[in-house]
Protein backbone atom coordinates (compact mmCIF):
# COMPACT_ATOMS: atom_id res chain seq x y z
CA UNK A 1 0.00 0.00 0.00
CA UNK A 2 1.49 3.40 -0.90
CA UNK A 3 1.69 6.26 1.62
CA UNK A 4 -1.13 8.31 0.06
CA UNK A 5 -3.47 5.38 0.20
CA UNK A 6 -2.56 4.50 3.80
CA UNK A 7 -3.15 8.12 4.87
CA UNK A 8 -6.55 8.14 3.15
CA UNK A 9 -7.45 4.78 4.67
CA UNK A 10 -6.46 6.01 8.13
CA UNK A 11 -8.67 9.09 7.62
CA UNK A 12 -11.53 6.89 6.46
CA UNK A 13 -11.20 4.67 9.51
CA UNK A 14 -11.15 7.68 11.82
CA UNK A 15 -14.17 9.17 10.08
CA UNK A 16 -15.99 5.87 10.43
CA UNK A 17 -15.25 5.69 14.15
CA UNK A 18 -16.20 9.27 15.00
CA UNK A 19 -18.83 11.86 14.28
CA UNK A 20 -21.50 11.78 11.62
CA UNK A 21 -19.62 9.31 9.44
CA UNK A 22 -20.06 6.72 12.20
CA UNK A 23 -23.71 7.32 12.78
CA UNK A 24 -26.46 4.75 12.09
CA UNK A 25 -30.07 5.75 11.44
CA UNK A 26 -32.80 3.41 12.60
CA UNK A 27 -36.17 3.37 10.85
CA UNK A 28 -39.22 1.11 11.00
CA UNK A 29 -38.08 -1.20 8.21
CA UNK A 30 -34.55 -0.11 7.41
CA UNK A 31 -31.38 0.63 9.32
CA UNK A 32 -28.86 2.90 7.60
CA UNK A 33 -25.29 2.11 8.59
CA UNK A 34 -21.98 3.68 7.53
CA UNK A 35 -20.47 2.19 4.37
CA UNK A 36 -17.70 -0.03 5.78
CA UNK A 37 -14.92 -1.97 4.05
CA UNK A 38 -16.73 -5.21 4.92
CA UNK A 39 -19.61 -4.10 2.66
CA UNK A 40 -17.44 -3.62 -0.43
CA UNK A 41 -17.38 -7.20 -1.85
CA UNK A 42 -21.20 -7.54 -1.85
CA UNK A 43 -21.57 -4.00 -3.18
CA UNK A 44 -19.15 -4.88 -5.97
CA UNK A 45 -21.23 -7.98 -6.82
CA UNK A 46 -24.35 -5.81 -7.12
CA UNK A 47 -22.59 -3.44 -9.47
CA UNK A 48 -21.88 -6.23 -11.96
CA UNK A 49 -25.61 -6.25 -12.81
CA UNK A 50 -26.11 -4.34 -16.11
CA UNK A 51 -29.65 -3.28 -15.10
CA UNK A 52 -28.38 -1.70 -11.85
CA UNK A 53 -25.53 0.01 -13.69
CA UNK A 54 -28.01 1.61 -16.09
CA UNK A 55 -30.52 2.51 -13.36
CA UNK A 56 -27.85 4.19 -11.24
CA UNK A 57 -25.87 5.70 -14.13
CA UNK A 58 -22.73 3.85 -12.95
CA UNK A 59 -19.70 2.38 -14.71
CA UNK A 60 -18.52 -1.16 -13.89
CA UNK A 61 -15.47 -1.13 -11.59
CA UNK A 62 -12.90 -3.71 -10.57
CA UNK A 63 -12.94 -4.77 -6.93
CA UNK A 64 -9.84 -2.65 -6.31
CA UNK A 65 -11.53 0.39 -7.87
CA UNK A 66 -14.59 -0.30 -5.70
CA UNK A 67 -12.34 -0.13 -2.59
CA UNK A 68 -10.97 3.20 -3.88
CA UNK A 69 -14.52 4.42 -4.43
CA UNK A 70 -15.37 3.37 -0.88
CA UNK A 71 -12.52 5.57 0.38
CA UNK A 72 -13.79 8.46 -1.69
CA UNK A 73 -17.29 8.12 -0.28
CA UNK A 74 -16.05 7.87 3.30
CA UNK A 75 -13.43 10.65 3.23
CA UNK A 76 -14.88 13.31 0.91
CA UNK A 77 -16.57 15.98 3.09
CA UNK A 78 -19.00 16.66 0.22
CA UNK A 79 -20.35 13.13 0.17
CA UNK A 80 -22.21 10.98 2.64
CA UNK A 81 -23.29 7.41 2.09
CA UNK A 82 -25.14 4.78 4.06
CA UNK A 83 -25.68 1.11 3.41
CA UNK A 84 -29.33 0.11 3.73
CA UNK A 85 -30.00 -2.90 5.97
CA UNK A 86 -33.32 -4.72 5.71
CA UNK A 87 -34.34 -5.11 9.37
CA UNK A 88 -36.04 -8.44 8.60
CA UNK A 89 -32.69 -9.89 7.48
CA UNK A 90 -30.60 -8.84 10.48
CA UNK A 91 -29.40 -11.92 12.34
CA UNK A 92 -29.85 -11.39 16.08
CA UNK A 93 -29.99 -7.83 17.37
CA UNK A 94 -28.70 -4.83 15.47
CA UNK A 95 -25.29 -3.93 16.90
CA UNK A 96 -23.93 -0.44 16.05
CA UNK A 97 -20.48 -0.80 14.47
CA UNK A 98 -21.30 -4.30 13.16
CA UNK A 99 -21.58 -4.14 9.34
CA UNK A 100 -24.41 -6.73 9.31
CA UNK A 101 -23.42 -7.78 5.80
CA UNK A 102 -26.12 -10.49 5.95
CA UNK A 103 -28.81 -7.77 5.83
CA UNK A 104 -27.32 -5.27 3.35
CA UNK A 105 -29.74 -4.65 0.48
CA UNK A 106 -28.79 -1.27 -1.01
CA UNK A 107 -27.35 2.16 -0.44
CA UNK A 108 -28.38 5.79 -0.22
CA UNK A 109 -26.07 8.74 -0.89
CA UNK A 110 -25.98 12.47 -0.88
CA UNK A 111 -23.46 14.48 -2.84
CA UNK A 112 -23.00 18.23 -2.31
CA UNK A 113 -21.65 18.79 -5.81
CA UNK A 114 -22.58 22.41 -6.54
CA UNK A 115 -19.82 24.77 -5.28
CA UNK A 116 -22.16 27.75 -5.76
CA UNK A 117 -24.77 26.21 -3.46
CA UNK A 118 -23.41 24.20 -0.50
CA UNK A 119 -26.98 23.69 0.74
CA UNK A 120 -27.92 21.68 -2.36
CA UNK A 121 -27.52 17.90 -2.28
CA UNK A 122 -28.01 15.36 -5.02
CA UNK A 123 -29.52 12.18 -3.62
CA UNK A 124 -29.26 8.63 -4.95
CA UNK A 125 -30.99 5.48 -3.76
CA UNK A 126 -30.58 1.85 -4.73
CA UNK A 127 -32.32 -1.20 -3.32
CA UNK A 128 -30.21 -3.78 -5.11
CA UNK A 129 -31.67 -6.98 -3.66
CA UNK A 130 -34.89 -7.68 -5.54
CA UNK A 131 -36.48 -9.59 -2.63
CA UNK A 132 -36.26 -6.40 -0.55
CA UNK A 133 -37.92 -4.15 -3.13
CA UNK A 134 -41.53 -3.03 -2.84
CA UNK A 135 -41.43 -3.17 0.98
CA UNK A 136 -41.01 0.54 1.58
CA UNK A 137 -37.26 0.37 2.21
CA UNK A 138 -36.35 2.75 -0.64
CA UNK A 139 -38.84 5.36 0.50
CA UNK A 140 -37.90 5.13 4.16
CA UNK A 141 -34.16 5.24 3.36
CA UNK A 142 -34.57 8.41 1.27
CA UNK A 143 -36.56 10.06 4.06
CA UNK A 144 -34.05 9.06 6.75
CA UNK A 145 -31.20 10.37 4.61
CA UNK A 146 -33.01 13.64 3.88
CA UNK A 147 -33.75 14.20 7.55
CA UNK A 148 -30.09 13.52 8.37
CA UNK A 149 -28.93 15.87 5.58
CA UNK A 150 -31.16 18.71 6.83
CA UNK A 151 -29.94 18.24 10.39
CA UNK A 152 -26.21 17.68 9.87
CA UNK A 153 -25.45 19.40 6.56
CA UNK A 154 -28.14 22.14 6.65
CA UNK A 155 -29.35 21.03 3.24
CA UNK A 156 -32.21 23.15 1.88
CA UNK A 157 -32.67 21.68 -1.59
CA UNK A 158 -32.50 18.09 -2.77
CA UNK A 159 -32.24 17.00 -6.37
CA UNK A 160 -32.22 13.61 -8.04
CA UNK A 161 -31.38 12.56 -11.59
CA UNK A 162 -33.48 9.69 -12.92
CA UNK A 163 -33.61 7.97 -16.31
CA UNK A 164 -36.88 8.82 -18.04
CA UNK A 165 -37.88 5.12 -18.23
CA UNK A 166 -37.20 4.43 -14.51
CA UNK A 167 -40.86 4.49 -13.50
CA UNK A 168 -40.31 3.07 -10.01
CA UNK A 169 -37.81 5.74 -9.02
CA UNK A 170 -39.77 8.58 -10.66
CA UNK A 171 -42.89 7.50 -8.76
CA UNK A 172 -40.97 7.24 -5.50
CA UNK A 173 -39.55 10.76 -5.66
CA UNK A 174 -42.77 12.34 -6.98
CA UNK A 175 -44.62 10.67 -4.09
CA UNK A 176 -42.17 12.46 -1.76
CA UNK A 177 -43.03 15.82 -3.31
CA UNK A 178 -40.12 16.19 -5.74
CA UNK A 179 -41.07 18.11 -8.88
CA UNK A 180 -39.57 18.15 -12.36
CA UNK A 181 -36.81 20.77 -12.61
CA UNK A 182 -35.11 19.96 -15.92
CA UNK A 183 -34.73 17.33 -18.61
CA UNK A 184 -31.60 16.21 -20.47
CA UNK A 185 -32.42 15.06 -24.00
CA UNK A 186 -28.84 13.79 -24.31
CA UNK A 187 -28.93 11.59 -21.17
CA UNK A 188 -32.72 10.91 -21.42
CA UNK A 189 -32.77 11.92 -17.77
CA UNK A 190 -35.13 13.98 -15.63
CA UNK A 191 -33.86 16.10 -12.74
CA UNK A 192 -36.38 16.41 -9.93
CA UNK A 193 -35.99 18.78 -7.00
CA UNK A 194 -37.48 19.44 -3.59
CA UNK A 195 -36.97 22.64 -1.65
CA UNK A 196 -37.01 22.29 2.13
CA UNK A 197 -37.08 26.11 2.35
CA UNK A 198 -40.63 25.92 0.99
CA UNK A 199 -41.53 23.06 3.33
CA UNK A 200 -41.18 23.23 7.09
CA UNK A 201 -38.85 20.23 7.65
CA UNK A 202 -40.65 19.08 10.79
CA UNK A 203 -44.05 19.17 9.02
CA UNK A 204 -42.60 17.51 5.93
CA UNK A 205 -41.09 14.59 7.88
CA UNK A 206 -44.18 14.35 10.11
CA UNK A 207 -46.32 13.97 6.97
CA UNK A 208 -44.25 10.93 6.00
CA UNK A 209 -44.25 9.65 9.60
CA UNK A 210 -40.48 9.92 10.14
CA UNK A 211 -39.89 10.19 13.87
CA UNK A 212 -37.65 12.83 15.37
C1 LIG B 1 -36.38 2.69 -7.29
C2 LIG B 1 -36.12 1.86 -6.05
C3 LIG B 1 -35.11 2.58 -5.17
C4 LIG B 1 -37.43 1.70 -5.25
O5 LIG B 1 -37.15 1.11 -3.98
P6 LIG B 1 -38.23 0.19 -3.24
O7 LIG B 1 -37.76 -0.08 -1.87
O8 LIG B 1 -38.53 -0.98 -4.07
O9 LIG B 1 -39.48 1.18 -3.23
P10 LIG B 1 -40.58 1.32 -2.06
O11 LIG B 1 -41.11 -0.03 -1.70
O12 LIG B 1 -40.02 2.13 -0.96
O13 LIG B 1 -41.73 2.14 -2.81
C14 LIG B 1 -41.96 3.51 -2.55
C15 LIG B 1 -42.74 4.10 -3.71
O16 LIG B 1 -41.95 4.02 -4.90
C17 LIG B 1 -42.79 3.74 -6.02
N18 LIG B 1 -42.42 2.43 -6.56
C19 LIG B 1 -41.55 1.55 -6.03
N20 LIG B 1 -41.42 0.48 -6.84
C21 LIG B 1 -42.25 0.68 -7.88
C22 LIG B 1 -42.54 -0.06 -9.05
N23 LIG B 1 -41.97 -1.25 -9.30
N24 LIG B 1 -43.43 0.46 -9.94
C25 LIG B 1 -43.99 1.66 -9.72
N26 LIG B 1 -43.75 2.43 -8.61
C27 LIG B 1 -42.89 1.93 -7.71
C28 LIG B 1 -44.20 3.77 -5.50
O29 LIG B 1 -44.67 5.11 -5.57
C30 LIG B 1 -44.01 3.38 -4.05
O31 LIG B 1 -45.02 3.86 -3.21
P32 LIG B 1 -46.39 2.97 -3.01
O33 LIG B 1 -45.94 1.63 -2.53
O34 LIG B 1 -47.15 3.74 -1.99
O35 LIG B 1 -47.00 2.88 -4.37
C36 LIG B 1 -35.62 0.43 -6.42
O37 LIG B 1 -36.50 -0.15 -7.32
C38 LIG B 1 -34.23 0.44 -7.04
O39 LIG B 1 -33.25 0.52 -6.33
N40 LIG B 1 -34.13 0.36 -8.36
C41 LIG B 1 -32.83 0.28 -9.04
C42 LIG B 1 -31.91 1.47 -8.81
C43 LIG B 1 -32.59 2.77 -9.14
O44 LIG B 1 -33.33 2.88 -10.10
N45 LIG B 1 -32.29 3.80 -8.33
C46 LIG B 1 -32.82 5.13 -8.54
C47 LIG B 1 -31.80 6.04 -9.15
S48 LIG B 1 -31.96 7.61 -8.37
Tell how far the Cα of 134 is from the centroid of ligand 1, in angstroms. Answer: 6
Residue by residue, DSSP assigns the chain as: --HHHHHHHHHHHHHHHSTGGG--EE-SSEEEEE--GGGHHHHHHHTT-HHHHHHHT-----HHHHHHHHHHHHH-TTEEEEEEEEGGG--SS--TT---GGGEEEEEEEE---TT-TTEEEEEEEE--GGGTTSSHHHHHHHHHHHHHHHHH---EEEEEEETT-HHHHHHHHHTT-EEEEEETTTTEEEEEEESSSS-HHHHHHHTT---
> In the predicted model, is pLDDT for residue 122 greater than 80?
yes
Average per-residue pLDDT for the chain: 90
Q: Is the pLDDT of residue 18 over 80?
A: no
Closest CA to 36 of 67, 79, 10: 67
Question: What pLDDT is recorded for position 209?
Answer: 72
- pLDDT tens digit string along 167-186? 999 999 999 999 999 999 99
User: What residues are in contact with ligand 1 under a 6 Å CB criterion?
Assistant: 52, 55-56, 106, 124-127, 133-139, 160, 162, 166-169, 171-172, 175
What ligand 1 atom has the least distance to the C-alpha of 161? 48
The mean per-residue pLDDT over the stretch 116-125 comes to 96
76 C-alpha vs ligand 1 centroid, how far in Å? 28
CA-nearest residue, atom 13 of ligand 1 = 136
Q: Say what the pTM is.
A: 0.91
Q: Is the pLDDT of residue 3 over 80?
A: no
pLDDT given for residue 62 in this prediction: 97
Q: Which atom of ligand 1 is nearest to the CA of 56?
A: 47
Q: How far is the CA of 120 from the centre of ligand 1 (A)?
A: 23
Given a contact cutoff of 8 angstroms between Cβ atoms, the answer to whether 3 and 9 are in contact is no
Amino acid sequence: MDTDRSVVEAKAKKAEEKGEQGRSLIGEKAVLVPYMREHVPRYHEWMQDPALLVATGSEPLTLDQEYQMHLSWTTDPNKHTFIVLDKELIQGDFVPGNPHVEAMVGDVNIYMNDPSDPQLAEIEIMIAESQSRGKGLGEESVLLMMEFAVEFYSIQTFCVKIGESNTASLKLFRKLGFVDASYSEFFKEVTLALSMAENSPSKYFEKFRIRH
